[in-house]
Structure 1
Amino acid sequence: MYAAVVAAGFAVGTPAAMADEIVVSAAASLTNAFKDVAKQFEAKHPGTKVLTSFGASDVVLQQIVNGAPADVFASADEKAMDKAVAQKAVDPATRKDFARNGVVLIVPTDSKLGLHDVKDLKRADVKRVTYGNPASVPVGRYTEASLKQVGMWQAVQPKAVLAQNVRQALDYVARGEVEAGFVFGTDAAIMPDKVKVVQALPAPKPVLYPIAVVARKGVSPHAGEFVKFVLSPQGQEILAHYGFKKP
């Protein structure tokens, strides 16, 4: 399964990166954008190679804590980065918010259910709703907070199909394995032929993405440069192309 491959990323035990390599471990929702960012960074820094690994933010962080040779960590929410700081996995002085997103309710493009609002998920013909596991996936935490705000959390929970990361939730909807799901707006945008957005959810707090240099011995000397590139006008332009907004 594609999502499983994405979630696995660079497993613990991967050989340490060479001096001219940067290992960037990031949230699954950044997959397309960061692959492009990496390509453009390499073009500006001849001889430097960016290796990317993607998965649920909490899972990626745990890999770093367990010794995965990452140089940069980019999370899909502040909570995962707060954990990284608390566990001394990143240098807090390098932490910056670099993008903003939003959570949307999506259905398969060929859905005949006529769902128009999150409250339609109460209907009996809606049996399966997917979203990221709130215990380890930022989009799941944002979804929970938004649904609680509109009084729908208790109604949706019994129908939950928990995903290991946001791309897995997207795949479930795209394949028609569930009637509806919650993903980031940027994820819905990469499959316009397979999923359609029903509604953007209200956010109790901004959906912000932080980035930081990993705190480990032998961290790439180019790690800080990569963070600066993400924050630069060129980096922000690439992110905007994939639907991310400025923080």
Structure 2
Amino acid sequence: MFGKWSLTAAVCLIAAVTVMESVNAQSQEITVSAAISLKNAFEEIGKLYESENAGTKVAFNFGASGDLAKQIEGGAPVDVFASAAQKDMDGIAQKGLILSGSRTDFAKNSVVLIQPASSKLEIKKFEDLMKPEIKKVSIGNPLTVPAGRYAQEVLTHFKLWDGIKDRLVFAENVRQVLDYAARNEADAGIVYMTDAKLREKEVRVAAIAPQESHKPVIYPLGIVKDSKNEASAKAFTALVLSEEGRKILQKYGFESAR
């Protein structure tokens, strides 16, 4: 009888430990919603974080910053938010959705005009977009895509916006703009310098937008107030801001904003 009770107790103990391990593993996963232009750099930082924190996992949700902000406003379970523009971070911070004191600027980027590498069209400056042979110019949707807003600012600066409205092809995010140009589905596109570098065999940079033509491209990072894993979120944020994180970001063409 005693042996049966011991066996039963042992089985229950093992089951309890298994459940606790499962719960613990779940509690160690953090969700990071980040601008899609950060994808390559953040995935590498995520792997580094997981290697330095045994039993942890980083789940990424990449997309247009405006869409990600709306998801957080809608109650999506997110621990860390990294935006490609201050506007999208401002919006949710003003609604009290970002943990006080956790917001910081961590990276900078440049806006560039690209064209397919195989293109025979002569594009050397933004004003060349007015040439009649240029039929399609892709930019991110300014309503939700920071790169699209920067593109609109640049085109407005050069007094081109009204003249090429009918030629614009709006994309859901900046990487889609890059795809259109890389696949020769657009004659030109406006993206970040970091995006252009990723596919420099398929696209070439025709012009770099002067700093005075658009708002500074600065990336803010913050912990979502309703994070269920605040300690892990802080650890991930600290890694992004560390020397190791900075080197990874620089590897992909980002400049430091600190």
TM norm. shorter chain > 0.5: yes
Structure 2 unaligned segments of length 5 or more: list them. 1-24
User: Following superposition of structure 1 onto structure 2, how do residues 130-141 of structure 1 map, counting pairs within 5 Å?
Assistant: 130-141=138-149
Superposition deviation, residue 88 in structure 1:
2.2
Whether 1:211 aligns to 2:187 is no
- Equivalent position to 2:237, from 223, 227, 247: 227
User: Match for residue 89 of structure 2?
Assistant: 81
- Equivalent position to 1:46, from 39, 43, 54: 54
Q: Name the one with the larger helix percent.
A: 2
Letter of the structure 2 residue corresponding to residue 233 of structure 1: E
User: Match for residue 30 of structure 1?
Assistant: 38
1:97 match: secondary structure = strand
Give the structure-1-normalised TM-score. Answer: 0.90
User: Match for residue 183 of structure 1?
Assistant: 191
Please say if residues 19 and 220 of structure 1, whose CA atoms lie closer than 8 Å, have aligned partners that are also in contact.
no
Superposition deviation, residue 210 in structure 1:
0.2
| Distance change >3 Å, CA 140–CA 92, structure 1 → 2 | farther
1:216 match: secondary structure = coil
Please say if residues 75 and 81 of structure 1, whose CA atoms lie closer than 8 Å, have aligned partners that are also in contact.
yes
Structure 1 stretches of at least 4 aligned residues deviating more than 6 Å after TM superposition: none
Deviation track 1:108-159 (CA, whole Å, cap 9, x = no partner) reads 0000111111111001111110001111100011111122222222223221
User: Following superposition of structure 1 onto structure 2, how do residues 1-247 of structure 1 map, counting pairs within 5 Å?
Assistant: 18-203=26-211, 204-216=214-226, 218-247=228-257
Letter of the structure 1 residue corresponding to residue 169 of structure 2: V
Please say if residues 91 and 212 of structure 1, whose CA atoms lie closer than 8 Å, have aligned partners that are also in contact.
yes
Structure 1 unaligned segments of length 5 or more: list them. 1-16
Equivalents in 1 of 2:95, 2:86: separation in Å? Answer: 14
2:45 match: secondary structure = helix
Please say if residues 25 and 72 of structure 1, whose CA atoms lie closer than 8 Å, have aligned partners that are also in contact.
yes
Please say if residues 97 and 211 of structure 1, whose CA atoms lie closer than 8 Å, have aligned partners that are also in contact.
yes
- Select the structure of larger CA radius of gyration: 2
1:91 match: secondary structure = coil
Please say if residues 105 and 200 of structure 1, whose CA atoms lie closer than 8 Å, have aligned partners that are also in contact.
yes
Equivalents in 2 of 1:220, 1:228: separation in Å? Answer: 12
Deviation track 1:40-86 (CA, whole Å, cap 9, x = no partner) reads 11112111111111000010111122122110000000001001102
Please say if residues 213 and 224 of structure 1, whose CA atoms lie closer than 8 Å, have aligned partners that are also in contact.
yes
Equivalents in 1 of 2:97, 2:182: separation in Å? Answer: 35
